[in-house]
Amino acid sequence: MSDSVIEQTRQIHSDLEKLVSTMVDDLLAEKKAASHKEMLLRDHRMNGYLEMMQSSSKKLLNLYEDQHGSRSKELDAITGAKVFSEFYTRLNATRDYHRKFPGASLRLEDGIPVPKLNSNFTGEENYCKYVDMHDLYKRYTNMHVFEKCNYFSFLGKFHKLHTIKKDKKIGNRQYHDFVKDLFKYMYEFFQKRHPLAVASDFKAQIDAEFEQKWKAKEIEGWEQDVIVEEKDEDGIDYPPIELSN
């Protein structure tokens, strides 16, 4: 890209217009009876285009803010008394560039690249039509906290963690890691299935609802007891204390 701040600004505006045009063309080219896979891949492409637009817009904003004064100096140079000498200086610089790189093409002729899919879909997921939780299932069946079951039964009850007695969960590192990885998979699956949704906003909403219910002791399976972790003044963590109402 040119060292000229004004040229960079013009080029980014041009890129943003081409991005909008590319997105519109992509949407108009969609089949009326598009398959699940085609619609999902389209959403991922749209998300990729939006990320490009966001990145370009940030660069554009920085150029307009002109924190180092480069834009102001350049505007003064092309509008002042030395406007013609500045023009020929830039013209000569452009000619020198093309003498050095005679095969260089105009960037305006370049198209917008198709965004690469960041998500890796497994064969079992079939583009997020199904979940692929076989690894989690193996860990599930090897934990004494849970009852043995087949994979299909597991899919119907893996989320019912409130049915596990608290004394089996508290202080159980294996269980803690399992739940943590279970959440990680479900969160990432949601992102892959709904690339245009802001997953962090949904999580923040759920966290807020949880905190409200937790304070009101309305979380299923935890209505009666509260677990408190105490820390002494010397900084030592002591085992959780179960307080009954």
pLDDT tens-place string over residues 144-199: 999 999 999 999 999 999 999 888 888 899 999 999 999 999 999 999 999 999 99
The answer, yes or no, to whether residue 85 has pLDDT greater than 80, is no
DSSP 231: B
Q: Which residues of 154-191 are buried (b: 16+ CB within 10 A; e: fewer)?
A: beeebeebeebeeeeeeebeebeebeeebeeeeeebeb
Q: Which residues of 112-129 are buried (b: 16+ CB within 10 A; e: fewer)?
A: beeeeeebebeeebebbe
Integer Rg of the chain from CA: 29
Q: What is the pTM of this model?
A: 0.71
The answer, yes or no, to whether residue 5 has pLDDT greater than 80, is yes
pLDDT attached to residue 110: 56
The Cα 20–Cα 56 span in angstroms is 12
pLDDT attached to residue 88: 73
Nearest to 193 by CA among 127, 135, 133: 127
**Cβ–Cβ < 8 Å for 240, 171:** yes
Beta strands of the chain (E only): which ranges? 225-228, 241-244
pLDDT attached to residue 104: 56
pLDDT attached to residue 142: 95
| Close Cβ partners of 203 (under 8 Å, ≥ 6 residues apart) | 187
pLDDT attached to residue 31: 75
The overall average pLDDT reported for the chain is 83
pLDDT tens-place string over residues 108-153: 445 667 777 766 889 999 999 999 999 999 999 999 999 999 999 9
